Each structure stands twice: as C-alpha cells, then as structure tokens.
Amino acid sequence: MGKFIYDSNIKVDFEDRLLAHLQAVIMAKVRRGESFPFTWKDDISTGGGRTTVYIHPNVSLVFKYHGSRSPQMSPAWLHALTYNANSGRGLYVIPEPDESAARESPHRDEMVFREVPNDQAPANTHP
C-alpha cells in the first residue's frame, strides 16, 4: 500500500500500482498548470463516505510507495483516468480496464468510465 498525501494533512492509502497511475495523471495536469478535483471513496473503517480535494499547482503533493520497484503502467488505465480527470467531475478511482477490450473499441475516446463500487474499491484509509 502506497500513500497519497495532500497538503501535508490528508493521507490516503492506495495500492502502489493504482497510486503510480494516479501520479502520472495528476502530475501531467499539474505540469500544464491545470487544476481539477480528485475524489475517492473512503474506507468503511474510517467511517466511509467520500473525500474530494482540489488539485492545483501550488499545493503540496506526496506519493509515497510501499514497494521499491516501479509498477508496470497500463496505457488503457492512464487513458481512462485522464479522460475522467479532464471531465467536469474530475479525477476519481476506477478499475483497470481490460487492455485488449480498450484497444479493440472503435469509440475508445467516447468510452465512459465508471467509479469503482464500494465493495470493489481498493482500500483507501485515512490514518
């Protein structure tokens, strides 16, 4: 489990692989000076619910990984997360799409990516 730390006071656990994909999408937008909301579902152990933070170039962001090796990146997952980050709703956690289905889709740019249901979401906790 890696940790996403926003503005030194919000700390959320994400699986390392998911965190690497979130970092790639977030940092690409921040480098371009783009601001956007980032929403995730909180773990039931912390009371459940949902948290949204506003990502902008002047906020402190830390991506702390549990493992020392960089995970393999999925182009389809990066595309899906970027698509959502560029929408009016902003970035939110979604399951990794099937690479072969994403490549074969004739309308890949028109795909709608759905939020992960509570019972299938990766563990997210606030310490």
User: Strand order in 2-6's β-sheet?
Assistant: 10-14, 2-6, 61-64
In-domain check, residue 126: no
Supply the pLDDT for residue 34: 96
- Is pLDDT larger for residue 122 or for residue 25? 25
In-domain check, residue 125: no
Contacts of 110 (CB under 8 A, 6+ apart): none
How does pLDDT run across 82-122, given as a tens digit for each residue?
Answer: 999 999 999 999 999 987 655 555 444 444 445 544 344 44
Checking DSSP bridges between strand 10-14 and strand 2-6, what pairing results, if any?
antiparallel
How does pLDDT run across 42-79, given as a tens digit for each residue?
Answer: 988 888 999 999 999 999 999 999 989 999 999 999 99
Supply the pLDDT for residue 43: 87
Question: For residue 61, what are the domain limits?
Answer: 2-120
Contacts of 104 (CB under 8 A, 6+ apart): none
Contacts of 54 (CB under 8 A, 6+ apart): 35, 36, 37, 38
Supply the pLDDT for residue 122: 46
In-domain check, residue 127: no
pTM over 0.85: no
Supply the pLDDT for residue 99: 75
Supply the pLDDT for residue 67: 87
In-domain check, residue 103: yes
Domains in the chain, number: 1
